[in-house]
Structure 1
């Protein structure tokens, strides 16, 4: 009997345990709810809300799923690059800022279960103004409390475009505007339509250019005759022409008859070339491979724009006589792949573009708070942790989502990195195109990806009992209680510069980077160490910093840690025969003038050959002359002005145009109009096109002759917070990059040096018309097919109703305008605009490329 009862009890335990396991499993599983069907929209309700520099906006959640969203048991996360004012949230939720641009929504006790079709509005007040769709929150995802490690992406945010432009409630306050075809028409009217035969056929503008009546018929049977010194360049030219003819041209060291001849001539400058095209031959003369390479690029732009469209049997090359050399030695593009990653193939396309237009420096921004993008083999955590973004609240396995990258770790562009092999391939590709790559290792701020990666390494090795190894590359003081917020709202993104382990880390990274350059056979003269936007409050409560301050009598405050750090970094580089590059703050020193904190050029580093990229000339910000002050003080300066060269800035101020605008709006005319040695001269309007006060530049430092010698070059910059795809990258770069190329290579134009304002403006308008025609009729059609084709921005059409007819024009003559009158959007098959439209009703117009891509649709009503 006892045995029977004991068996029954055992059976009861087994069954109970199984039922408990089933119950616990059910409890641990998330509810059946399709997160993709939780629809998200966002709208701007009012700028200048309550007559303050703030705006009211609303997130709306709409349940499109058949299942209900429960009243509790979940959180929603999203990215938003603004600061929400505490206490301003309306809706049955709490909205909490976590770190960086990551926010969390949690249902309150009064939240009601959302059945199918139900919606919830969450309104809040945010500092500043919201003027375009880039201001929208993004990357929404749902996390169930029962499965806290798993994020489920919601639908992409639908940004509600205002039906009409918002009126200004306060004079001078920023307002939302929409595309105005009439305004565009008036702007475009000043651009003359120039016949293609009357346009220069080499771009950027050469120093000396003359067309002759001769022409040369180029076929795949025409050989390249070259000095042996130029065999690598001949090989590249043969491959370039094979893309046109479908057959590789032969090259050899001697021969007679019709040919392309590459000739060495010692007395030309290091990047100079001469190009002659006659009926019998094409001759490129240069003293160096770089000069020969640029002569080859001029030959390519001399070819017809459609040469890359189809395989041709022959190409007619117009007769020219050209002597040319660059204005600046340093002609750069800065590409940020840290915030959002770009694949290796896309970097190759950028290098092809830079090479064609004679840009010779790629400033490669490889790390930041949101990503570390190059493999450092001895420190694998840098890419294992720092190159992946996914749902996390502790950054122990990856970084958190940023810029809408979402909860999954395999999502581009949030995640990704270049392997050692990838990076070496990029270096070789750049080397072959006469492009130097400057790697940027951003420190001591903007370094969260590296800091968190080294935290993971530290924890792993400490757990293994390897304390010395664990501390070798640690980047923060674990006992630091300092309280700060960076401009991007991070509270843990600054390296602690008092720790010896920081310099162990930097030396290892520098040595690994050098090894990759050596393996690639690529030149490395400098490493860029960032140095910008270190917030107030860092290091103040760090025991390690306080100890160093007490031990060294040279130090008077935490501010001195800044100079201590860059002095040590400079020594690391000098020992390796490299010079230091950085952002402008590297060359600045804090001081007090009449009790107020000011920044001045740092006299301690002025003779250290430190090169600085100076971006801050924000109009009205007080630093409009900073680049000139630093150059006059003796620093080597690369002009990287936000007002003219920040390509991540939106093209214009209309709501549907993507990009930031905190520093300016930057269309193709901005880099073209830039005057490097006197950018005050034609800076007459603020970023919203309001006239600047005449006193804006009174008292600002002018560039001296000494300072002019310290302007080493000019740079266009593409920060990538909003660059979420290769297509968006090309949209933001082009056609702006062509304005940069012209200003970096071409001689100082007449309009820039003409002292008479009226004459200068007239000369500028002529130059701008010519440039706009060159882009629309030669260079952009070329880029439709060159290197696989580029998805440049197509400007919206200008249109106006006059005398019962619709007249249209375009910023870049040569692009095709198509239109409809039946209410549908124009397609590549719609009618071509050739003369004013007489049909009445709604007329829709749109610009198209040769490949059939269309720009924004604009509408006018002809009554």
Structure 2
């Protein structure tokens, strides 16, 4: 596919010549003809499109006063002259342009991230080899290729649309990473610096080399490592390790085989079989006692493995720790005694399958990997603006229309082609009732709870359009009452608004009773599916965020507000009313209510159920600690969802080739997650930075306004958050294996934070405290302990866990190689130790890097890391032997 974008050969041009005279029109004529199907097909096959970043700090940003702005251009070049009109190019861009300019083209925003380029009145046609250019300014920064969506679609009225081949991404053969030939984003400082105060421009390869440097670490220490780190462990170094090459023999007491079957299956895949003459594994569940769910004790001494737990989940985790202890090269586990329990009851991962669908097989594989690292909640984001992904009996339109996208801008047969989805995309689909049952059953076997989420009232375009389709179909059939039963939009509403994702039609109308009938129907059907699978729906996440000024001109809402019995006096109160009413509906079904913090903040505490889970997604520099405190004082459970630590759709590193959004953090690697202190959010100001690398202040002291009212108070005495979860939003994740790339290995660091409380973390001060990079509550001794434990953790990942990923077929990220010239020799390393590194000089043969290189000035050196099994290379990095190479 990627080879087709190259310049046309003479033979290809000759082959095209006969087609250039069509319907009496010569393409090289001076008049413009209306494009026909054959011409559209040829242009789609041959146009060369480039999206070129010009600057992240232009002198001006026309049409915007935003803090950030980038200046870019799209170049469209035809290899032959084509005097045709009537066409449009549809393409996805995360943020719409604030202004554009072009001699012959026009750029317009349509809806969501969908934009289109079309000929202006001055358009004179495509000239062979001459680019048509449109410049534009965007109120954001562009720092990696992740935001540049593929699959620009050439379309015209009455013709079959085609994807422009040069805008198709492809999977590189060696690395299996996505390559975007149309993207032109360089690593030059002039481009990558997004703000005058941007500190990340200083993050050279040499600077990162110093940050990731490892001195005098004994690899022998990893033999007894368990990921995530247990609460307490005693190592018996004088006792011989157990050799599991002959297998294991299981003896159970107080539990069923099915309770631990999934953990045994993982051991089997790692080479530890169940045999009659294997090492004895005795597992005892003594029944519920006071303590933590999932707690266990593990002994690997005196020729046998002993696991004691108070519940089957603890027994399951004990076996997973055996798998973590296992060294694949020797098939041995060391002699240890482990006493372990989880830090948090809630240890989760949020998976967005709405924006870009993930196959059922991917979800099952993910559940197995989550359980291996003792994560126990899958927050399943099943519906959003761009897709509805679960079958609901009685509402077939939800999946018939809203589970796929195509070129139907009226949303009559499918949803609009958002997020760079192609005409026949493999990024769409849904889970049938049977699929969802299988997922629920598989999760139960892995001791994971599924928490479904169908975002409402914002982020609901897929539901809105499906119910409009239902309304029109039933109305046409004369079934008017049935048509209105689940309608989610007011046909008379002329409100003009834009959501945070730039939609103008994505919000449920909360003033219509049919909306609540729909919500009740959906939640009841989902709860029924959970009950059928033997996994009761204990908690449901309603979303409840980002409603963006809808309903202002809705006649239904004007009537609703005028009715004094509704206790709603202003349109701004409608979001809170909806959440309160839906929360009461959910609680009445015996289900705990959950939602994002911003929507929940609009509710009245006395109108909400007693049991509420608030998922706090404010960033650390944006005072996440204040949101947590405010909701803790409402008596709610808190799930930490701080984007700058937990969003795994952000880039790993400062690399324009890395994928990911960056609005909450420019880089989120395993180390940034490992250093997070979740029990003391404000204390993170001592070590964390904002989105452009600046220090910030977190003031957690009691604060009052001029009227003496509290504006902030520290956490209530003794309060602790319920848990933490990672998040994989999927706007820029188009393939299942690339979703694994974004998750692993850094999900292991998230699991570490969720399971293990490190002694080096700064304890929370319930009296309140102020923190910044100059305060020293994280003492030098604590930092030294942290750094040592980081080395223990990342060596265990590099020397043990990645080998298991290779064995189990996990497509994790192989880190980039960083380098620095020291004493005229090039030194190289990676953030994860133990990986093979290769280099080549002047594009010669790849050779092993086993010691620093002595090279001549001006030599072109490339570096790459390999997976432990050496079957897959990571991305190639260029080393500047002057020591100033940029990462």
Q: What is the TM-score with the length of structure 1 in the denominator?
A: 0.88
Q: Name 2:663's counterpart in structure 1.
A: 662
Change (3 A) 1:653 1:707: farther
Q: Secondary structure at the match of 1:784?
A: helix
Change (3 A) 1:512 1:57: same
| 2:127 is equivalent to residue 111 of structure 1 | no
CA distance in structure 1 between the aligned counterparts of 2:731 and 2:192, rounded to whole angstroms: 29
Q: Name 1:345's counterpart in structure 2.
A: 361
Quote the offset at 1:404 in angstroms.
0.8
Q: Secondary structure at the match of 1:85?
A: strand
Q: Name 1:687's counterpart in structure 2.
A: 690
Quote the offset at 1:831 in angstroms.
2.3
Is the Cα–Cα contact under 8 Å of residues 166 and 175 in structure 1 kept in the other structure?
no
**Residues 786-805 of structure 1: matches in 2 within 5 Å?**
786=808, 789-805=809-825
Quote the offset at 1:70 in angstroms.
3.4
Change (3 A) 1:385 1:123: same
Q: Name 1:855's counterpart in structure 2.
A: 874
Q: Name 2:75's counterpart in structure 1.
A: 60
> Among 462, 465, 471, which residue is 1:452 paired with?
465
Quote the offset at 1:579 in angstroms.
1.5
Q: Deviations over 1:47-80 (max 9, x none)?
A: 221245322101111224x6x4433121111000
Quote the offset at 1:760 in angstroms.
2.1
Change (3 A) 1:771 1:850: same
CA distance in structure 1 between the aligned counterparts of 2:302 and 2:438, rounded to whole angstroms: 40
| 2:412 is equivalent to residue 392 of structure 1 | no
**Residues 633-782 of structure 1: matches in 2 within 5 Å?**
633-664=634-665, 665-684=667-686, 685-688=688-691, 690-694=693-697, 701=712, 703-706=714-717, 708-709=719-720, 711-753=721-763, 755=777, 757-782=779-804
**Residues 530-569 of structure 1: matches in 2 within 5 Å?**
530-536=543-549, 538-553=550-565, 554-569=567-582
How many residues were matched structurally?
A: 802
More displaced 10-residue stretch of structure 1: 52-61 or 72-81: 52-61
Q: Name 2:102's counterpart in structure 1.
A: 90
Q: Name 2:50's counterpart in structure 1.
A: 41
| 2:249 is equivalent to residue 223 of structure 1 | yes
Q: Secondary structure at the match of 2:324?
A: helix
CA distance in structure 2 between the aligned counterparts of 1:429 and 1:178, rounded to whole angstroms: 46
Is the Cα–Cα contact under 8 Å of residues 79 and 402 in structure 1 kept in the other structure?
yes
Change (3 A) 1:221 1:332: closer
Quote the offset at 1:228 in angstroms.
5.8
Change (3 A) 1:146 1:695: closer
Quote the offset at 1:658 in angstroms.
1.3
Q: Secondary structure at the match of 2:141?
A: coil
Is the Cα–Cα contact under 8 Å of residues 702 and 714 in structure 2 kept in the other structure?
no
Is the Cα–Cα contact under 8 Å of residues 468 and 487 in structure 2 kept in the other structure?
yes
Quote the offset at 1:231 in angstroms.
1.7
Q: What is the TM-score with the length of structure 2 in the denominator?
A: 0.86
Is the Cα–Cα contact under 8 Å of residues 80 and 102 in structure 1 kept in the other structure?
yes
Change (3 A) 1:683 1:161: same
- RMSD, matched Cα: 2.7
Change (3 A) 1:751 1:696: closer
| 2:528 is equivalent to residue 523 of structure 1 | no
Q: Name 1:7's counterpart in structure 2.
A: none
Q: Name which one, 1 or 2, has greater alpha-carbon Rg.
A: 1
> Among 153, 171, 188, which residue is 1:141 paired with?
153
Q: Deviations over 1:369-412 (max 9, x none)?
A: 00001111311110111111111110111101111112x1x312
Is the Cα–Cα contact under 8 Å of residues 90 and 117 in structure 2 kept in the other structure?
yes
| 2:261 is equivalent to residue 232 of structure 1 | no
Quote the offset at 1:704 in angstroms.
2.7
Q: Name 2:861's counterpart in structure 1.
A: 843
CA distance in structure 2 between the aligned counterparts of 1:835 and 1:730, rounded to whole angstroms: 32
CA distance in structure 1 between the aligned counterparts of 2:726 and 2:306, rounded to whole angstroms: 32
Is the Cα–Cα contact under 8 Å of residues 648 and 659 in structure 1 kept in the other structure?
yes
CA distance in structure 1 between the aligned counterparts of 2:393 and 2:832, rounded to whole angstroms: 48
**Residues 160-175 of structure 1: matches in 2 within 5 Å?**
160-162=184-186, 164-166=188-190, 172-174=196-198
Change (3 A) 1:605 1:209: farther
Is the Cα–Cα contact under 8 Å of residues 808 and 836 in structure 1 kept in the other structure?
yes
Deviating above 6 A after TM superposition, structure 1's stretches of 4 or more consecutive aligned residues are 167-171
More displaced 10-residue stretch of structure 1: 169-178 or 371-380: 169-178
Q: Name 1:379's counterpart in structure 2.
A: 395
CA distance in structure 1 between the aligned counterparts of 2:654 and 2:73, rounded to whole angstroms: 21
Q: Deviations over 1:142-185 (max 9, x none)?
A: 012342x6344442251113263217999735599598321221
Quote the offset at 1:681 in angstroms.
1.4
Structure 1: which 5+ residue stretches go unaligned? 1-21, 251-255, 308-314, 590-600
More displaced 10-residue stretch of structure 1: 833-842 or 519-528: 833-842
Q: Name 1:462's counterpart in structure 2.
A: 475
| 2:229 is equivalent to residue 205 of structure 1 | yes
Quote the offset at 1:776 in angstroms.
1.2
Is the Cα–Cα contact under 8 Å of residues 389 and 431 in structure 2 kept in the other structure?
yes
> Among 208, 214, 217, which residue is 1:184 paired with?
208
CA distance in structure 1 between the aligned counterparts of 2:234 and 2:448, rounded to whole angstroms: 28
CA distance in structure 2 between the aligned counterparts of 1:498 and 1:159, rounded to whole angstroms: 44
Quote the offset at 1:258 in angstroms.
4.8
Structure 2: which 5+ residue stretches go unaligned? 1-22, 25-32, 62-67, 168-180, 704-711, 764-775, 883-887
| 2:335 is equivalent to residue 334 of structure 1 | no
More displaced 10-residue stretch of structure 1: 426-435 or 508-517: 508-517
